[in-house]
Amino acid sequence: MASNLNHADNQDVLRLAGNVDLEHSPEIRKTLLDAVAERVNVFVDLSEVTYIDSSGIACLVEALQTARDHGANLGLISVSRQAMRVLELARLDMVFSIHDDLASALRAKT
Amino acid sequence: MTGASSATKLAQGPIEPAPEPLLEMRFPAQADRLKLVRGSIRAAARMCGFNDTAAQDIVLAVDEACQNIIVHGYKGREDGEIRLNLARKQDGIQVILLDTAPLVDPATIVPRALNDIRPGQLGSYFIREIMDTADYRPRPDGAGNLLEMFKRLDSTPWQAT
């Protein structure tokens, strides 16, 4: 499930929650791709993700690559333990910009 | 007993105890059923002695294998079925998945390269990364595919560096 926590002129904060899995990844993929196509800065809050699989990780990777193609930024914030474990297994923890919270993500951008 | 038969017996080594069945499930090969299965896999892994992190890793590997069956085996067909058998062995957990999808050539199941961050093929990568063995073969009855996986209790969990 994806919800928009904060929508400013050039910034979106999207929160993914629960199972980011094969069942829900088509909807999540669309939400993420729409966000990075329209905004300069997109932060994805993963604090409430209880399970993420390869289809969910693929959504994040595609969104990151689309953001880069558009000259936009995509960062991950408040990553849950389970999500971080899967990012590490995929060796993607060094590919994404990961921050403890939104405030530190915004500080890193200034 | 002749010398030759003694040598044969010694070469066979000690007989390994049969795996202890923990759970057998049959479920429709549909994405929304996997969340019903994940809790049972985690509980079985914990029962075998794996810690939380290792149990969660095993859940991911089995879930990805089921996804491969749904997406690449049955190709989204909703009348397919998956059978999952979990068993405890002395030194770990055995996972067997059976389907009735068209036969898959194991050589086509290729995990992604480490430096490749494109979406896709991550599922097979997770299976190889997490499990100690993953053996794809046709079912003995010829009705589909069989995937036998094993995770040892003493295998070192993958750690971020």
pTM: 0.89
B157 within some domain: no
Q: Is A91 left (phi over 0), alpha (psi -120 to 50) or beta?
A: left
Mean pLDDT of B90-101: 97
> Which residues in chain A are closer than 8 Å to B56, comparing Cβ atoms?
82, 85
For residue A63, give the CATH number of its domain. Answer: 3.30.750.24
Mean pLDDT of B50-63: 97
For tokens 């896709």, the residue is B120
For residue B144, give the CATH number of its domain. Answer: 3.30.565.10
B13 within some domain: no
Structural domain including A38 reads: 2-105
Structural domain including B112 reads: 19-152
CA distance A19 to chain B (A): 8
Domain count, chain B: 1
ipTM reported for the complex, 2 dp: 0.91
Q: Each residue of A19-28: pLDDT tens digit?
A: 999 999 999 9
Strand pairing category for A41-52 and A11-20 = parallel
Tell me which residues of chain B, numbers 10 to 49, contact chain A at a CB-CB cutoff of 8 Å.
Answer: 31-32, 34-35, 38
Mean pLDDT of B112-136: 82
B161 within some domain: no
| Complete DSSP assignment for A16-27 | EEEEESTTTHHH
B124 within some domain: yes
A44 within some domain: yes
A110 within some domain: no
Dihedral of the CA atoms B67, B70, B71, B72 (nearest 10)?
100
User: Of the candidates B53, B63, B122, which has its C-beta nearest A57's C-beta?
Assistant: B122
Domain count, chain A: 1
B14 within some domain: no
B138 within some domain: yes
Residue A88 has phi, psi (to 5 degrees) of: -70, -45
CA distance B74 to B67: 10
